[in-house]
Structure 1
Amino acid sequence: MILVSACLAGIRCKYHGGDNLIPEILALVEQGKALTVCPEELGGLSTPREAVDIETGDGFQVLAGSARCLCEGGREVTTEFLQGASKVLQIALENNIKLAILKERSPSCGSSCIYNRVQNNSNGVERTIVQGMGVTSALLYQNGIKVISEEQFLRNYHT
């Protein structure tokens, strides 16, 4: 069994209410080979919701308590991200999951890059993509579960 980001299977749980459907991932779910999860919804956030970035860090730093998850408007949602990650880990362990295919660039699910939030010189906030794992991906990784992005999956799937 594989764990997949729900948005990749066409479930409308993306922050703006849309999805990131990848037919090959939906097929895995329909064949009973994959379970869907949305860490942000599992953590108690609604859909739609404000976009969230990790402030000057990555998922490992959020887990360690040295970085925060902030909405576009500045509201902190670190607790919700940690709760969602914990629930995803519980689902993974209960189902003996060894592989997760999660949405790249997501502050929850990114496996090699995420959006970061930094102050710029004009006292504004700038979003930038940086190398690093999201909160859920980092927690799964720390617990021995391999995490790849949908982009890595598709490269391997089509080769």
Structure 2
Amino acid sequence: MSIPEPDLNWLRSNLELVVFCPEVSAGLPTPRAPAEIIAGKGVDVLKGFSKVVGNDGIDVTTQFVAGAKNALELCLRLQICSARRE
């Protein structure tokens, strides 16, 4: 889902936009295989009960958790108060 152009223009004019890909920050390449949480939710991954696995069968849990931590650190450092997934 993309942001309509008038809204994006407003955002660009009124806010500082920060583009960030957690997975890339943790070392995953682009393009890469789509990945899904297996048998659980995000919190289960963080607790070590579930894994994130690509449709190619590769476990990318470590990279996804590292990317989430990187994103949190960036938000805290820059005092980012809103995020959107694209």
TM-score range, shorter chain: 0.7 to 0.9
Structure 1 residue ranges (4+ consecutive) displaced by more than 6 angstroms after TM superposition? none
* Higher RCO structure (Cα 8 Å, ≥6 apart): 2
Identity, in percent, stands at 33
Give the paired residue count.
83
CA RMSD of aligned residues (A): 1.8
Equivalent residue, structure 2, for 1:79: 62
Work out the CA distance in 2 between the residues paired with 1:70 and 1:47. 16
**CA separation of 1:83/1:26 partners in 2, compared to 1, >3 Å: closer, same or farther?**
farther
Q: Which has the higher strand share?
A: 1
Equivalent residue, structure 2, for 1:64: 47
Equivalent residue, structure 1, for 2:82: 99
| Displacement after TM superposition at 1:27 (Å) | 4.9
Deviations 1:7-30 (A, max 9, x none): xxxxxxxxxxxxx542334652x3
TM-score by length of 2: 0.83
| Displacement after TM superposition at 1:57 (Å) | 0.9
Gaps of 5+ in 1: 1-19, 104-159
| Displacement after TM superposition at 1:86 (Å) | 0.7
**CA separation of 1:26/1:101 partners in 2, compared to 1, >3 Å: closer, same or farther?**
farther
